[in-house]
Structure 1
């Protein structure tokens, strides 16, 4: 689960990219180079003024070898001597290392003029950092211009041939995501998009402010998604197994808490879902890029924590799938799903449920499997006041297979009134005959600012008479309490995409029993 973030300046830290991509950067000197406009070195239209740039650290896209380019369609804006906005009349028709922009209007009053590059979706000094960005191949930034890359520069008179020369100073911030995995199940997956969620705005329309030298303005967009993939080798996305699969995102500079959702797809099974990482508050400066590495190791549930209620041994002890036993590993309805008869049938088996029962009393679990789990009162607080949020996309694995689906609950420290001795309705459910649907489900995921207040429970299903049921669809978890009037039942948490309650079920059922609650 290691996450790393490093920051770099475009202008001063390009050499560090050699470490990222394992190559040597090579920049050709351009001080004496030029692009010919015609045979005699003069413009075809004398009413146009040349604004030329050639600094390789300031162009609008960057390849993995560290070389920067202007991209097809890039244009600049300059205010002329009359204060009127003028857009360059020409633009590169292909990727190029240098370019001489031709700008209409009169430029004779001053020796320097402010140049604005608002990106391909911007206008004059207005910049649009877009919420939906797209990158067709790994480790390229050709999409920067449409994503919201922008900049300003002071163009100073150079000479009659080159006109006003400028060096663009970028005003956006840039994230470089470098996901890795050692999980063999995930190594065959593809990165289909990266979703960046912030506690404040990172996408909107902003102003290139020549006074402050920054982007100014406040927007409402708190989410940016960069789609990864195009055609050919990358038709399914970026291979997660590849050594170089960097994805770039353009964001508004500032101090942000970022929640990152990496979207992965297993092409073989068609399962596509997310792995969520939350980064602490950090400042992302203009004209800098930040390497964000993440070990995408999903939550792994071993299959050894299914128990009959308060049993001394797990449901499949001696028959574990990982040891070549008969434990079914596929949920009913899937091709290859099986049923095994090798589960406990009587109290002569240590895997059998705890039969202890006293009418009218608090029937508490006593064995290691269930005694430290939340009691029924505590669970009412999680369900009613823990703001449960269904997540249909968060990925996890169990018994060698990739699944998704589960619920986020607030941690008990963040639930006002949480009390293990009294249920949310004021009763003590350990001795009262009460239970039922007491909560409601939200389908809005925790925000970036609130994500740290939640924990996740996967929909691990259950074993019923030796068959696995509803993995990925339903979560059923044992509690440490049993009803006061029903000998063969025990309390459970039950949830799915459209259902949530605290109830009771037969103690012979094989449900998950592990201290996953926080």
Structure 2
């Protein structure tokens, strides 16, 4: 029957057509498993009855999803649709009336204008904030505040079409989604680090536009002439947990709406350690990634794959046992924190070697470079401070450290045999026997402006890396992430050591009861 312009026409919508998994990215792989594609369709039912007064409200269109399965998509009470009338003019409906709290996949939409008597009326959904049946905007900045929550679906660019069947004002339809969707499930295999770092955002950069204002007049997304498009979408997350060694939607499932297409993706995961305030980007790439209409693509990522993990032991100079190797001790593992139980006397096997000077190490420091070689590293090793390198110790995240030329490269560049570097320092002292350098405040100081290159070396194979692991004074851990201090294998009654920092490469001496990390120099 015909209805006047002021009469309401009801459109009842069952489940928004289920999104189905296209593929699960195989660890930053460029391949997709086409065998996993499936086309799961929502079940459409038609109900022309009045929904009654339904005051329930959701924030926006949303979806729930199971890895490897299908998404269940739900209407919100803010959603509206556009419907083609008998004259082929699109009219926007009133906001959705939801059936009941347990089945938000169903809604009824009413229109107050237009004539609707013919069968097969076209329906378009252009997002929660859509104001035009012919335009869809995929947002270049999207926000998700809770893990595994796709409630930003409707505001980020979701869209769909349907053919409503029926006549005389009573129709049913099932929406077919026309955007594409990414589901990110990163993990951290370092079980000490995972609980302490957070995912703050995900940025996807493609080799073609993936966001912007699209023409939707044909029922599929197409670029408009004169519009500006973005090759990048940033999904802001609210410090999602990375405390999982397997893909886990509940832990950090993050969703993004993108324009359909086949892309080469660069995916940047920004992680942060709130305790150390270190933040960095983890970059992964995927080639030829097919993002189809109405499909979800799972993208996994091993976040800490290339983050070096250090597990150092600290010693007083040439001690028999490590600094915290005793019953009942509490080792502090964050900068400027204090534990208890460090050694206080020579009767403790953790105490430094007290043999008379000049002294050559016999225990924990015996494989460290002697003071002569340390001076060669310091002044001839072309130190490069790398502020970008990421590493972890004691379950926390740090950045920065020093690269030095390897011993053999230093010798070759200075016309020496490798063993010559152990015999005498480049300044002419033999610090194994000569006491005179001990009398100076700083034996070798290399902190002049420009003396330390502030970037990683281009030929890293010629270098080795020293992280700034800090050290222990009594029961306190100091300068972790800022300074690295390493014992030499010889002592003059004071412990020779090498210190590194952003603008410092130095060989000096100090009391031997400090706790420095045991390390391998190359």
Question: Shorter-normalised TM-score: what interval?
Answer: 0.5 to 0.7
Whole-Å separation in 2 of the counterparts to 1:304 and 1:84: 75
| Counterparts in 2 of 1:456 and 1:463: CA distance versus 1, 3 Å | same
Whole-Å separation in 2 of the counterparts to 1:96 and 1:191: 35
Q: Aligned-pair distance for 1:395?
A: 7.7
| Counterparts in 2 of 1:435 and 1:207: CA distance versus 1, 3 Å | same
> Equivalent of 1:247, from 237, 248, 253?
253
Q: Aligned-pair distance for 1:36?
A: 2.0
Structure 2 counterpart SS, 1:474: coil
> Equivalent of 1:302, from 311, 315, 318?
311
Q: Residue by residue, what CA displacement relative to the aligned partner does 1:55-102 show, whole Å, maximum 9, x if unpaired?
A: xxxx85225585332223122345768887643222245661223433
Asked if the contact 2:330/2:340 (under 8 Å) is kept, the reply is no
| Counterpart mapping for 1:75-90 below 5 A | 75-77=80-82, 86-90=91-95
Q: Aligned-pair distance for 1:133?
A: 1.4
Q: Answer yes or no: is 1:319 the counterpart of 2:327.
A: no
> Equivalent of 2:139, from 122, 129, 135?
129
Q: Who wins on radius of gyration, i.e. which is larger? A: 2
| Counterparts in 2 of 1:199 and 1:404: CA distance versus 1, 3 Å | same
Structure 2 counterpart SS, 1:145: helix
Q: Residue by residue, what CA displacement relative to the aligned partner does 1:152-205 show, whole Å, maximum 9, x if unpaired?
A: 32535544454373532231322231536572x467x48864521334588853
| Counterparts in 2 of 1:152 and 1:107: CA distance versus 1, 3 Å | farther
Asked if the contact 2:181/2:296 (under 8 Å) is kept, the reply is yes
Structure 1 counterpart SS, 2:483: strand
| Counterparts in 2 of 1:107 and 1:340: CA distance versus 1, 3 Å | farther
Q: Answer yes or no: is 1:37 the counterpart of 2:43.
A: no
Structure 1 counterpart SS, 2:182: strand
Asked if the contact 1:70/1:92 (under 8 Å) is kept, the reply is no
Q: Answer yes or no: is 1:258 the counterpart of 2:267.
A: yes
Q: Identify unmatched segments of 5+ residues in structure 2.
A: 1-25, 53-60, 345-350, 415-424, 428-443, 456-463
Whole-Å separation in 2 of the counterparts to 1:494 and 1:239: 31
| Counterparts in 2 of 1:319 and 1:108: CA distance versus 1, 3 Å | closer
Asked if the contact 2:271/2:279 (under 8 Å) is kept, the reply is yes
Asked if the contact 2:332/2:476 (under 8 Å) is kept, the reply is yes
Whole-Å separation in 1 of the counterparts to 2:404 and 2:178: 42
Q: Aligned-pair distance for 1:475?
A: 3.3
Whole-Å separation in 1 of the counterparts to 2:88 and 2:319: 80
Q: Residue by residue, what CA displacement relative to the aligned partner does 1:209-261 show, whole Å, maximum 9, x if unpaired?
A: 455933645227553222268xxxxxxx7975997435222143542111223
Structure 2 counterpart SS, 1:260: strand
Structure 2 counterpart SS, 1:321: coil
Q: Aligned-pair distance for 1:328?
A: 4.9
Q: Aligned-pair distance for 1:514?
A: 4.7
| Counterparts in 2 of 1:67 and 1:172: CA distance versus 1, 3 Å | closer
Asked if the contact 2:197/2:242 (under 8 Å) is kept, the reply is yes
Match of 1:340 in 2: 343
Whole-Å separation in 2 of the counterparts to 1:477 and 1:34: 75
Match of 1:44 in 2: none
Q: Aligned-pair distance for 1:344?
A: 3.4
| Counterpart mapping for 1:500-511 below 5 A | 500-506=503-509, 511=516
Structure 2 counterpart SS, 1:364: helix
| Counterpart mapping for 1:348-427 below 5 A | 349-350=361-362, 351-352=364-365, 363-364=372-373, 376-380=379-383, 382-383=384-385, 388-389=387-388, 396-398=392-394, 402-407=395-400, 421=413
> Equivalent of 2:471, from 451, 462, 480?
462
Aligned residue pairs: how many?
409
